[in-house]
Amino acid sequence: MIILILFISFLLGLPIAFSLGIVSLGQIAADGYPLLVVVQRMFTGVDSIALTAIPLFILSGGLMLKGGMSDRLVNFADLLIGHFPSGLAMVSVLACMFFAAITGSAIAATAAIGGIMIPIMIEKGYDKEFCAPLLATGGSIGPIIPPSIPLLLYGVMANVSVAKLFIGGFVPGILMGIGLMVYSYFLGKKKNYIGREERAPLKDILIAGKDAILALIMPIIIIGGIMTGFFSPTESATVATFYALIVGVFVYKELKLKDLPAILLDAAKSTGQVLLVVAFASLFTWVITVNNIPQSVGAFLSDNVNSKFILLLVINIILLIAGTFIDTTSAIVIFTPLFLPLAAAFGIDLIHFGLVMVVNLTIGMCTPPLGVCLFVSGSIAKVSLKDQLRYLIPMLIVLIIVLLIVTYIPQTVLFLPNLFS
């Protein structure tokens, strides 16, 4: 009943945080627990040093976006692969992958790269019904390639290595990007989407690469520092913020001091939204735990599922459906306490399971009816969700194939973490 009321609240359009809070408060009152529990559990939910990385990664993303890094990444990607059929489409996906490694945000990648590339693609004869879903699916790579707030949240909740999750996120993110570029290439040959007239000279590629190098090496600094033990994942967020500030102000010189108040305000709003969900989700987790809901779900699935293969399939189906109307961060904090004990009981590696969850839920950001990235790219291209479906469905098939690879071939995401550990 608790879960049912929660999902009814979602469908009625009540904000995720308030839905969690109202359902939890009602159950606490019904169970006769003191209301002091509400404050205690909400505070406990956000009282984690690891969570301080969230506002810092959000802030670093805002600084990089305003500091001119997106333009340089797009230019470099265009010179690198823009001469292929459907060249601009492939450039868009590659730019999203580069940008994902800077901000870790699907919405930011879709808005930043889409705002640059969609008008250019339409002007060059690409169907706008193709451009919008391509940028939405390309942007969804953002929360997978590190730094990743969903992976950070899962690591905190599951008490597993955030560094291993970050390293493991590279492979599925790259596979998703390659899959979308391959689809774009063959569609471009069929639809006669012409790229650049000729291959860019090596000299121009090297110049553009040099111009974008400071943006490209930032993920290397962050992940390299974590892997070598030079700083923790939380400290890496601080490094990323100062790096973005210095490069934007003193190197690219596009980030002005007058821009900082607006960037700080946006980061504060985004942080407040995320941490409010985390706080109410902590309360919700406590409520379902004391009511033995995870144990009941686990017992039901254990009685009806007798293999790891089927369990992962069932969980993937549930998450794919939930991801269509719950944002990735909220879904992570809701479903992790439900499925984590079951995954552990079936012997599923928790690093592998976390990456399966995040890859799955990010697909929901570009899946109807409430895929937020679709609305962002659709508003840029001025195309309705219905008109995007023709090209969106093959793209979703590509992403789901990658999800199945990650799900049933664990070494695709565990090889790198195990190698560097």
- Tell me what pLDDT residue 275 has: 81
* pLDDT top residue among 343 and 113: 343
pLDDT at 313 over 80: yes
Across 80-99, average pLDDT:
81
Distance, in Å, from the CA atom of 298 to the CA atom of 290, rounded to the nearest integer, reads: 15
pLDDT at 111 over 80: no
Cα-Cα-Cα-Cα torsion 247, 251, 257, 260, nearest 10 degrees, comes to: -20
Distance, in Å, from the CA atom of 188 to the CA atom of 315, rounded to the nearest integer, reads: 35
Across 201-209, average pLDDT:
86
- Tell me what pLDDT residue 267 has: 83
- Tell me what pLDDT residue 137 has: 93
- Tell me what pLDDT residue 395 has: 95
And the tokens for 397? 């098939």
In 3D, which of 65, 66, 69 has the Cα closest to residue 216? 69
pLDDT at 10 over 80: no
pLDDT tens digit sequence for 132-187: 999 999 988 878 887 788 888 899 888 898 888 988 998 999 999 999 999 999 99
- Tell me what pLDDT residue 103 has: 63
Peptide bond into 150 cis (omega under 30): no
And the tokens for 338? 């439900």
Across 9-37, average pLDDT:
82
3-state DSSP assignment of residue 160: coil
pTM here is 0.75
Q: How many of the other CB atoms lie within 10 Å of CB of 292?
A: 11
Residue spans per domain, the chain:
48-255+291-420
Distance, in Å, from the CA atom of 87 to the CA atom of 79, rounded to the nearest integer, reads: 10
CA 224 to centroid of chain Cα atoms: 21
* pLDDT top residue among 146 and 356: 356
Across 279-299, average pLDDT:
77
pLDDT tens digit sequence for 402-412: 999 999 999 99
Residue 195's pLDDT band (boundaries 50, 70, 90)?
Answer: low
AA letter at 233? P
Mean pLDDT over each residue of the chain, to the nearest integer: 83
pLDDT at 421 over 70: no
Distances (CA, A) of 131 to 96, 141, 376, 401: 13, 16, 12, 21
- Is-contact 128 381, C-beta < 8 A? yes
Radius of gyration of the chain (CA): 21
Which residue's entry shows tokens 């601009």? 88
In 3D, which of 402, 411, 408 has the Cα closest to residue 137? 402
- Tell me what pLDDT residue 282 has: 79
And the tokens for 144? 């997978």
Cα-Cα-Cα-Cα torsion 124, 128, 132, 134, nearest 10 degrees, comes to: -60
Q: Is 155 exposed, middle or buried (0-12, 13-18, 19+ CB in 10 A)?
A: buried
Residue 19 C-beta-side C-alpha neighbours within 13 Å: 19
Which residue's entry shows tokens 């870790």? 104
Which range, 7-16, 223-232, 280-289, is most confident? 280-289
Element (H, E) at 216: helix 202-216
- Tell me what pLDDT residue 277 has: 77
